[in-house]
A and B are shown apart, each in its own frame.
Chain A
Amino acid sequence: MFPSRIWRESKHRYRLEAGKCKKCGKIVFPYRLICPECGDREFEKIILPDTGKLMSYTVIRVAPSQFTDQAPYAVGIADLGDGVKLLAQIADCDVEKIKVGMDVRIEFRRIQTDAHHGVLSYGYKFVPKWY
Chain B
Amino acid sequence: MRDVAVVGVGINKFGELWNHSLRDLYVEAALAAIDNAGVDHLDSMTIGCMTSGLFVGQEHLGSLLADYLGQKNLAASRVESACASGGLAFRNAYIEVASGMSDIVMAGGVEKMTDISGDGATYALAAAADQEYEVFHGATFPGLYALMAVAHMEKYGTTREMLSAVAVKNHHNGAMNPYAQYPFEVTRETVESSVMVASPLRILDCSPITDGAAAVILTTVDIAKKLGKPIIKVIGSGHATDAIALHSRDDITTLNATTEAAAQAFKMAGKTIKDVDFAEVHDCFTIAEIVVMESLGLYPPGKAGEAVVKGETALEGSFPINTSGGLKSKGHPVGATGVAQIVELVKQLRGEAENGRQLTNSPKIGMAQNMGGSGGSTLVHILEVA
Contact = CB atoms under 8 A, between A and B. Distances in A.
Contacts of A36: 243, 248
Contacts of B198: 58-62
A77 B138 contact: no
Interface of B: 119, 122-123, 126, 132-140, 142-143, 146-151, 154, 195-201, 203, 243, 245-248, 252
Given A75-B137, A75-B138, A85-B248, 11 more contacts: A58-B146, A60-B139, A64-B126, A64-B138, A75-B147, A76-B147, A86-B133, A86-B247, A89-B137, A100-B151, A112-B136
Given A87-B247, A100-B150, A100-B154, A60 B119 contact: no
Contacts of A48: none
Nearest to A62: B197
A57 interface: yes
Given A58-B150, A60-B143, A77-B252, A111 B136 contact: yes
Contacts of A63: 138, 140
A58 B136 CA distance: 16
Interface in A1-51: 9, 30, 36
A100 B123 CA distance: 28
B245 A64 contact: no
Given A58-B147, A60-B143, A77-B147, A65 B123 contact: yes
A113 interface: no
A87 B151 contact: no
Among all A-B residue pairs, the 4 with the closest Cβ atoms:
A58-B146, A65-B119, A85-B247, A56-B151
A77 B246 contact: yes
26 contacts: A55-B252, A56-B148, A56-B150, A58-B150, A60-B138, A60-B139, A60-B140, A60-B142, A60-B146, A60-B198, A61-B199, A62-B142, A62-B195, A64-B126, A64-B135, A73-B138, A75-B137, A75-B139, A75-B143, A76-B147, A87-B133, A87-B245, A87-B246, A89-B138, A100-B150, A112-B136
B238 to A, nearest CB: 21
Given A56-B150, A57-B147, A64 B246 contact: no
A77 B154 CA distance: 14
Contact of A88 (B123, B137, B199): B137
Interface string A52-92: 00011111111111110010010111000000011111000
